[in-house]
Structure 1
Amino acid sequence: MHLSVLYRGRLSSCNYDCGYCPFAKTYDTRAALRRDAADLARFVDWAAAQTTGLSILFTPWGEGLVRRHYRDAIARLSHLPHLRRVAIQTNLCVGMRWLDEVDRDKLALWCTYHPSQVSRDAFVARCRELDRRGVRHSVGMVAMHEHLDEIEALRAQLPAATPLWLNAYDERPADYYDDAQIERLQTIDPHFRYNLEPAPSLGAPCLTGESVISVNGDGDVRRCHFVAAPLGNLYDGSFAAHLRARACPNARCDCYIGYAHRSDLPFQRDYAGGVLERIPAMLGAGAIGGAASARIAAAR
């Protein structure tokens, strides 16, 4: 058995101030940070005590890597013999020295570029440093109108094998993207339309609740972040009796960390070995990035 765990604790603070994000420049109290650190330590202890295979993705509301307890947790988890992958969503704002303590064969980073918060050159330099250190990573952006040229410029600067994924702008009106813009964005991310126009989910087969679970700071287990019904608790083991194949109960799922686990969509195949960190299968990563870079260079 292999279990993938999506962990989202109490952390909600972020050092960035993106206009489209509800957590921009929010602050956790010291008490909240202490509680988050204690919750995280408990979770890491649980993971260390397991004997079956694990993969873990941290999906904090805020920025986790600016907090020492997340960096330390990732380092410890990466050295567990039964852990296949530990990954975290991050804006990649922190330095790289902490990576010296991590087993980089098991680490992956899901990195988001925010043009209003950091220069492209600085962000790309960090990505190249990850490459130099051998750290698996994907890069992504929110595809806002004002950033379309920036998306193409970023694709051209990133190493060809670095996958660049795109999320549709959440607050868009119905006609926000025209056909030409969608074609531009699909040149960068061939899976963009799955995020832009989510397929109906109700009744669709999904691995969440079977081999994928969501866990909060209290250890409450749900099948995913987007289904409220509890399956039990991680720490008393009550969730395990409820793991089984099941269909999605929601009308639609418009977030990658949800729909990527649907077996009727291509992500389990196209992202084999990298679903949690949003990295296409090895051949796909280089081919997608290289083809997009070539087309953009030719257009210029």
Structure 2
Amino acid sequence: MDLTVLYRGPLASCDYDCPYCPFAKRRDSTTRLRADRAALERFAQWAAQCEDQLSLLFTPWGEGLVRSWYRRTLAELSRLPHIRRVAIQTNLSCRTDWLAEADRDTLALWCTYHPGQTPYDRFLAKCRDLVERGVRFSVGVVGLPEHLEAARRLRADLPGHVYLWINAAEGHTYRDAEADEWTTLDPLFPYSRHPHTSAGLPCRTGESVISVDGDGTVRRCHFVRAELGNLYDGSYRAALRPRPCPLAVCDCHIGYVHLETLPLYDVFAGGVLERVPAGLPGQRSVRDVTITAGRTSR
């Protein structure tokens, strides 16, 4: 079977101090870091031995790629023939030389730019480095009013094929004129603007998509706490079946992208996990971009 797994281990530390994030500048103890490393290695061993076709998205609360065990694990998993995609959410503060060890047809990055947390030129240079390396990635910004000019600058400076997504800021109400400004940058912003009514609607989570924590506890998604079993004893498999969403609304992309009532599996065909759409006006694939003297021609 084809199975998509969202993995989130104990890691909760981050090197950034974003005011909209509860894990900003949080430091994990040595004990917690060791537990996270052990949990990730256990999950990677399961994935390597699994007989299913797997698509894997790592969604740590903190920043994973500053830790060597995440970089090594993603590179190793990307080279396995039954892994269709392995991706991770990242602020891109990490080094990028490790990507040379990865299969770039399989690995992808979901990158977020946080204005005020890193110099703009440094972040843009990292993005250009990913393009030169042929890495598949998307870039996004939280749609706060104070981020609008930075997002406009980023859209202007990024290669045309790189998708810039905008996440609606939690608790922020967007007037139509304001939403239009964000939609100019991200044509798919309307999907993020409002929470999606989901109660009773069919969703792929719990059937072909599951969420796993560091102990191997399997849930249908990160936002529904009911347990389906454990990954490592295989007890979750008997629970996989079509089921409606039990929540009133779904307001996070990693959740609502799996709703069968939305067309997002078609919109992001081939790039659901890394949030890369199949095509937007003016976009071309990574392989169609010509790199000349370290610069991207469009």
TM-score by length of 2: 0.93
In structure 2, how many angstroms separate the alpha carbons of the residues matched to 1:47 and 1:256?
Answer: 24
**Structure-2 residue corresponding to 1:103:** 103
Following superposition, the deviation at residue 18 of structure 1 comes to: 0.7
In structure 1, how many angstroms separate the alpha carbons of the residues matched to 2:56 and 2:38?
Answer: 18
**Residue 10 of structure 2 contacts residue 32 of structure 2 at CA under 8 Å; is this kept in 1?**
yes
Question: Quick check: 1:196 aligned with 2:193?
Answer: yes
Amino acid of the residue matched to residue 154 of structure 2?
L
Specify whether residues 64 and 286 from structure 1 end up closer, same or farther in structure 2 by C-alpha distance, changes over 3 A only. Answer: farther
**Residue 163 of structure 1 contacts residue 286 of structure 1 at CA under 8 Å; is this kept in 2?**
no
Question: Quick check: 1:287 aligned with 2:267?
Answer: no
Following superposition, the deviation at residue 177 of structure 1 comes to: 2.5
How many corresponding residue pairs? 285
How do 1:272-283 and structure 2 match up within 5 A? Answer: 272-281=269-278, 283=279
Q: Please give the secondary structure, in 2, of the residue aligned with 1:208.
A: coil
**Structure-2 residue corresponding to 1:244:** 241
How do 1:102-181 and structure 2 match up within 5 A? Answer: 102-172=102-172, 176-181=173-178
TM-score by length of 1: 0.92
Amino acid of the residue matched to residue 142 of structure 1?
V
Note the residue ranges of structure 1 that are not aligned, 5 or more in a row. 290-300
Amino acid of the residue matched to residue 165 of structure 1?
W
Q: Please give the secondary structure, in 2, of the residue aligned with 1:287.
A: coil
Identity %: 59
Deviations for 1:164-221, whole angstroms, at most 9, x for unmatched residues?
111111132xxx4222111011111122122221221101111000100000000000
Specify whether residues 138 and 255 from structure 1 end up closer, same or farther in structure 2 by C-alpha distance, changes over 3 A only. Answer: same
**Structure-2 residue corresponding to 1:261:** 258
- Which 10-residue stretch deviates more, 179-188 or 3-12? 179-188
- Which 10-residue stretch deviates more, 214-223 or 263-272? 263-272
**Residue 162 of structure 1 contacts residue 286 of structure 1 at CA under 8 Å; is this kept in 2?**
no
Specify whether residues 250 and 285 from structure 1 end up closer, same or farther in structure 2 by C-alpha distance, changes over 3 A only. Answer: farther
**Residue 55 of structure 1 contacts residue 84 of structure 1 at CA under 8 Å; is this kept in 2?**
yes
**Residue 174 of structure 2 contacts residue 193 of structure 2 at CA under 8 Å; is this kept in 1?**
no
Q: Please give the secondary structure, in 2, of the residue aligned with 1:23.
A: coil
- The Cα RMSD (Å) is 1.3
Specify whether residues 285 and 112 from structure 1 end up closer, same or farther in structure 2 by C-alpha distance, changes over 3 A only. Answer: farther
In structure 2, how many angstroms separate the alpha carbons of the residues matched to 1:159 and 1:259?
Answer: 28
**Residue 12 of structure 1 contacts residue 23 of structure 1 at CA under 8 Å; is this kept in 2?**
yes
In structure 2, how many angstroms separate the alpha carbons of the residues matched to 1:224 and 1:163?
Answer: 25
How do 1:37-116 and structure 2 match up within 5 A? Answer: 37-116=37-116
**Residue 279 of structure 1 contacts residue 285 of structure 1 at CA under 8 Å; is this kept in 2?**
no
